Chains A and B, each alone.
Chain A
Amino acid sequence: MCFEKEVIDLLKKYNISHSVFLPDSGLKKVYSEIIGDSYFKVITVTREEEGLGISSGMYLAGIPNIFFIQSSGIGNCFNAIASLNFAYQIPFLIIANYRGFHNEQIETQKPFGQMLPKLLKSSNLDYHIVTNTSKYIIEEYVQNYLYNQTTGVLLISPEVY
């Protein structure tokens, strides 16, 4: 099953109708599927930190949601992650196109791509690098977010698309 279909099916299975999105090339098929499906409410944002604030506000209102971004944007979120999500224990689930990892063509993406797993680990952020279309790991992270109120980051390697 293709990645975007797997994601859409999972979101519908778990009644997650809301998502916050900063469009990215790797996730463009997910974006166009979600935008084109009347089941979903998508909030497109201008910057990743902004999106995390919106995701957090939705969560406070009792609306679970998924936050889709490019992995480089996680770097723009650390202050909010610490002083909003960690401080108030507001979970989030980020699904990110992982740049600077597999066959990356843009040199400037590589430094942060290499740093990112170490940053996530040192921040005690649970993350997983998804290298094949394995529905189980994504579903596990969705379940943890919904039922255990835990925060997670899924870095989707381009080889998945």
Chain B
Amino acid sequence: MLNRKNALEIIFKYISNECVVTNIGNISKAVYWNHDRKSNFYLTGSMGLVSSVSFGLSYGSKKVICLDGDGSLLMNFGSLCTLGHYKPSNMIWCVLNNGCYETTGGQQIFTSTAVNLRSIAENCGITNSYTIDSAQSLNQIFPTLLKNNHFSFLEILLEPSNMKYPKIEIDPLYNKKRFIESL
């Protein structure tokens, strides 16, 4: 099964000048320590809002890649409805789904028991919804979604990781300043 490290390596292999917004916790840390760039915006608070911040950003001129977690998505479930309605054509909503709150100790959540995120996304009007669980599939689909001009929801099934990262070294104000300058 795919792990987060591999998934992010594949994603960032194809990213060029798009902006990337990352979810609080291990996703932000993993991206910062392995794929830092000026056009990354790391959320270190306000869990759940990465898809909303990404949607707001999509009204600018750059394509937006949202790197969300399944636990975070559950916190802002209404975002599925809002994004299913507006379908911002320059946004890809990636959900790194490992079925748990990994950052807080790996507690199991409903995405590993009862909830089918792709099915829910489709039923919220997100017609371009995909679930993948292998490096091969991700290598096939992600560059296609980058080139397309339509809103996409990409659920990436991952095995949980116990990789630990130090905290992000840049402060929020510097992150914001650097990010805005890159747009």
Tell me the A residues contacting B by CB distance below 8 Å.
18, 41, 43-47, 49-63, 79-80, 82-84, 87-90
Q: In the bound complex, what is the Cα–Cα distance between A141 and B41 (angstroms)?
A: 28
Q: Known contacts A54-B56, A60-B56, A60-B179: does B49 contact A43 (CB below 8 Å)? A: no
Contact check, B41 vs A60: say whether CB atoms are below 8 A apart: yes
Q: In the bound complex, what is the Cα–Cα distance between A47 and B175 (angstroms)?
A: 27
Collect the chain B residues with CB atoms within 8 Å of residue A49's CB. Answer: 46, 48-49, 76
Contact check, B78 vs A46: say whether CB atoms are below 8 A apart: yes
Collect the chain A residues with CB atoms within 8 Å of residue B175's CB. Answer: 88
Contact check, B45 vs A50: say whether CB atoms are below 8 A apart: no
Contact check, A56 vs B82: say whether CB atoms are below 8 A apart: no
A76 to chain B, nearest CB (A): 11
A81 to chain B, nearest CB (A): 9
Contact check, B45 vs A57: say whether CB atoms are below 8 A apart: no
Collect the chain A residues with CB atoms within 8 Å of residue B76's CB. Answer: 47, 49-50, 53
Render B30-46 as a binary contact track against A, CB cut-off 8 A, 1 for contact: 00000000000101111
Collect the chain A residues with CB atoms within 8 Å of residue B143's CB. Answer: none
Contact check, A45 vs B78: say whether CB atoms are below 8 A apart: yes
Contact check, A57 vs B54: say whether CB atoms are below 8 A apart: yes
Collect the chain B residues with CB atoms within 8 Å of residue A51's CB. Answer: 52
Task: List the 3 shortest-distance A-B pairs measured between CB atoms, nearest first.
Answer: A57-B56, A83-B45, A53-B52
A93 to chain B, nearest CB (A): 14
Contact of B59 among A47, A52, A63 (CB under 8 A): A63
**Interface residues of A: mostly helix, strand, loop or mixed?**
helix
Collect the chain A residues with CB atoms within 8 Å of residue B10's CB. Answer: none
Render B80-103 as a binary contact track against A, CB cut-off 8 A, 1 for contact: 011001100000000000000000
Contact check, B78 vs A47: say whether CB atoms are below 8 A apart: yes
Collect the chain A residues with CB atoms within 8 Å of residue B2's CB. Answer: none
Contact of A63 among B44, B54, B60, B176 (CB under 8 A): B60
Contact of B86 among A43, A57, A80 (CB under 8 A): A43
Collect the chain A residues with CB atoms within 8 Å of residue B85's CB. Answer: 44
Which residue in chain B gives the minimum CB-CB distance to A47?
Answer: B78
**B53 at interface (Cβ–Cβ under 8 A)?**
yes
Q: Known contacts A60-B53, A84-B43, A87-B45: does B82 contact A46 (CB below 8 Å)? A: yes
Collect the chain A residues with CB atoms within 8 Å of residue B173's CB. Answer: 88-89
B106 to chain A, nearest CB (A): 23
Which residue in chain A gives the minimum CB-CB distance to B62?
Answer: A61
Collect the chain A residues with CB atoms within 8 Å of residue B45's CB. Answer: 79, 82-84, 87
Collect the chain B residues with CB atoms within 8 Å of residue A80's CB. Answer: 46, 49
